[in-house]
Structures are given as structure tokens and as C-alpha cells.
Amino acid sequence: MKIKYRFTFSWEASKGEQLRALGLTVEEPQVPEEFSGIGVSHADEGAAGWAEACSLVKLWRGGIDVSTEFTKEEIVAADYCIIRGAHYSGYPQPESDDGYRKITYGSACYCPDCGVGLEQVAPFRMRKSVRFGRNAFLYLYWVHDQIFMPHGTWEKRLAPLGVGALPVNDVKGQPMEGVIQLKVEQHSLLQLDAEGEVCGTCGRKNFLVHDRGYAPHPVDPPACPIFRSSQHFGAGAQAFNRMVVRSDVAAEIVASGLKGARLIPCFPRSV
Ligand SMILES: [Zn+2]
């Protein structure tokens, strides 16, 4: 496991020199402008210069994004992994005026202030122009907790493990051949230490996603290959569930080299 830091800061040549002196590589702004360029630098947690770079970037009021890279061995050793989107293409349809939300979800429990409470009642609609490229997984922008796959890849790789599928429609509401949505019906609480933010309107909670280290472990995992977190995550009016896959699904994704999603091992249960 490597914990990676990505630093961003308003560009000045002297800042770049300070980071380079610490041994970091620095990406200068593509189009340097006197006041508006953004510099980018990277460091692994614990590496030479990392702690000093963190202090400098905080001093400069820059941004620090933390993410974690796991080895294939760490992924396949985990009982469960969170699966999250790496390949996004297109928007759910119709994309204007929240049209997709009204068509795809029931909104009886929906809260417009925190985004919690959407329940899918109809197939997603997408444009035929969405592109998988070399990816086996596709996510639609705005929708972080629904996973789409080419029918053939799902049938060959995940259906034998018991992962179900739902149909997908085109923009006119007609069945779209060759693409499926993974069927995910069950939930589990994740073991979270954070308090979450309580919505002032509906009283339900949203949690922030942290990308540092292992993902939280499911507390009461159902006996199925893929399920959702009971908790919601997100900020503002956006809420989504985290998606969890069992070890045999993660192993198949790794062994078959399926691209388009990231796997984040959950903490070992004993930790
Ligand atoms: Zn709410």
C-alpha cells in the first residue's frame, strides 16, 4: 500500500524551486500566466521531502489530495473491496432539469437538500454515444453508485459468480442492446468512525469519502457478491452509496484485467 499525495498551489517559480530542492518533481502550469497558473507536485507518504512539502503547501494555502494505491496481492487478499468508478462516459438521460432523476427514481423519500432517498424504479437511459473504450466498467457522470458493463463481459466474467443484471434503455426509452447495469439489491452498514453530517431538512446523514488507506469494512455483509453501503456519502445535495464486492468478484476483476473501476480493500475484519 502506498499513500500518495498530490499537491496543487498557485504557481510561482520560487515555490517550484523549493519543492524541487526537497527532491519532488514539479509540473509547471501548461500555460503560465502571471497570476493564475497552478503548479502540481506529487509525493508518497513517508518519502524524503514529503513532510516538508506538506508544510509548505499548507503555508501556501494550496490543495492536498490523498489517495492510496494497493497491490494486486493486497486486493485479492481482502474479504471485501469497495469498487468505485474510474471510467466515466456520458450523463444519465434526460440530463436537463433533473429529468433522469424523475424518470429513473422514485422520489417519495428523496430529500433535495442532501440528495438521500433515491430508489431506482426504472432502467437508466443513456446515449448510444457512451464509450467503453478498453474498459469493462462504465459510470455515468453524477451517478457514482450504479455500474454499467458490456453485456458479453458481464455474462462471461461476473454472471457465473452470481452477479445479476438489469436492462438499460436508450434516450427514447427503448432497450439498449449490449449494455447492462449491475443489479445490486442488498445493503450493509460500513464500519465508520466519522460522525457524518446531519441534514437540516430530513435529519439523515451524509459521510465524506476518505481515500487514505483501507476502506471501511462491512458490519453485516449479506451473502451476495455485490452490495451497497447502508450509509450515504457525498457533499451538498449529492448522495451516493459505496459499492462493495466480495473477494471472488475482486479476484475475477484482477485476474481478467477488467478496467474502468478501482478496487479498494476493506480493512481486515479483525482490525
Ligand atoms: Zn436531507
- Taking only the tens place, the pLDDT of each residue in 121-153 is 999 999 999 999 999 999 999 999 999 999 999
Q: What is the pLDDT of residues 190-218, one digit of tens each?
A: 999 888 999 999 999 999 998 899 999 99
Which residue carries 452498514 as its cell? 189
CA 179 – ligand 1 centroid, Å:
33
Contact 157, 261 (CB under 8 A): no
Would you say residue 35 has pLDDT above 90? Answer: no
End-to-end CA distance of the chain: give it in Å, rounded. 16
Q: What is the mean pLDDT of residues 84-104?
A: 95
Alpha-carbon distance of 196 to 271, in angstroms, equals: 21
Which residue carries 457525498 as its cell? 234
Edge to edge, the sheet with strand 197-198 lists 197-198, 205-207, 232-233
Number of other residues whose CB lies within 10 A of the CB of residue 8: 16
Looking at residue 30, what is its pLDDT?
A: 78
CA 220 – ligand 1 centroid, Å:
25
Percent of the chain clearing pLDDT 70 (strictly above): 97
Tell which residue, 192, 169, 171, has the closest CA to residue 181. Answer: 169
Would you say residue 104 has pLDDT above 90? Answer: yes
Alpha-carbon distance of 229 to 124, in angstroms, equals: 21
Domains belonging to the chain, first-starting first, are 2-69 (3.30.70), 74-265 (no CATH)
Amino acid letter for position 104:
T
CA 87 – ligand 1 centroid, Å:
29
Instruction: Go through the chain and tell me how many residues it has.
Output: 271
Mean pLDDT score across all residues of the chain: 94
Looking at residue 271, what is its pLDDT?
A: 46
Looking at residue 107, what is its pLDDT?
A: 85
Q: Is the peptide bond before 123 cis (omega within 30 degrees of 0)?
A: no
Looking at residue 33, what is its pLDDT?
A: 60
Alpha-carbon distance of 159 to 180, in angstroms, equals: 11
Looking at residue 200, what is its pLDDT?
A: 95
Would you say residue 34 has pLDDT above 80? Answer: no
pLDDT band at 53 (very low <50, low <70, confident <90, very high): very high
CA 58 – ligand 1 centroid, Å:
33
Would you say residue 233 has pLDDT above 70? Answer: yes
CA 119 – ligand 1 centroid, Å:
15
Residue 6's DSSP bridge partners are 42, 65
CA 233 – ligand 1 centroid, Å:
12
Alpha-carbon distance of 120 to 224, in angstroms, equals: 19
What pTM was computed for the model?
Answer: 0.89
Q: What is the mean pLDDT of residues 10-35?
A: 87
Percent of the chain clearing pLDDT 90 (strictly above): 90
- Parallel, antiparallel or unpaired: strands 243-246 and 80-85: antiparallel
Pairwise pLDDT comparison (52 vs 194), residue with the higher score: 52
CA 107 – ligand 1 centroid, Å:
12
